[in-house]
Amino acid sequence: MLILAVLVFLPLKVKEKLRILRRSFLSVFFFSVFVSLPYVLIGFLIGEDRFNYFLMVNLRAFDLTVMTLTFLELVNLFKALDFSKNLSLLLVLVSSHSISYIKVLKDFTQAFKSRSPKNGVRGEDLKNYLTRVVSYFFEKSMETSEEIYIAMKSRGLYHD
């Protein structure tokens, strides 16, 4: 928990520190629910005590997440990677695709909300929505990765 003490003394506003902690907690919470907790539950069913493992892994994940988000808050990656043309190009590609994916996800969410009744969403509708979103992003990422590979190869960035 040394990272929390370090976070207190960093030159960030309280609002930014709380946002970092909130995002870190949510990330580790989902990691715990989908990765660590099933491992502990299976251990419980076969008679093994894996609670120490659960605490250790989740605290480490929390520390790493807090450090990563703090680093990203303090350092401008575009300036930090300015020394390398290839890394700068890669960062621009990743950030532009991330921004476009976020926009598409917001569009999907707004479309789902506008087509859903106000009094509640059926479980089957939510399942269909999530299935379609995941399949769309999987297909889109496959397409995009092929295009990026071909574009970078044509610029001489890959040496096969």
Q: Which one of 13, 41, 75 terminates a domain?
A: 75
Is residue 114 one of the residues assigned to a domain? yes
**DSSP string computed for the chain:** -HHHHHHHHSSS-HHHHHHHHHHHHHHHHHHIIIIIHHHHHHHHHTT---HHHHHHHHHHHHHHHHHHHHHHHHS-HHHHTTT-HHHHHHHHHHHHHHHHHHHHHHHHHHHHHHHS-TT---HHHHHHHHHHHHHHHHHHHHHHHHHHHHHHHHTT----
Q: pLDDT of 4-58, one tens digit each?
A: 666 666 777 878 888 888 998 999 998 888 888 888 889 889 988 888 988 999 9
Residue 116 tokens read as: 């859903």
State the total domains in the chain.
2
Residues 101, 127 within the same domain: yes
Predicted confidence (pLDDT) per residue in 99-148, tens digit:
988 999 999 989 888 887 777 777 888 888 889 999 999 998 898 888 88
Neighbouring residues of 77: CB distance < 8 A, sequence distance ≥ 6:
91
Same domain, 64 and 83: no
Q: Do 84 and 43 have their domain in common?
A: no
- Residue 36's domain spans which residues? 2-75
Last residue of a domain, one of 33, 58, 75: 75
59 plus 100 within the same structural domain:
no
pTM listed for this prediction: 0.62
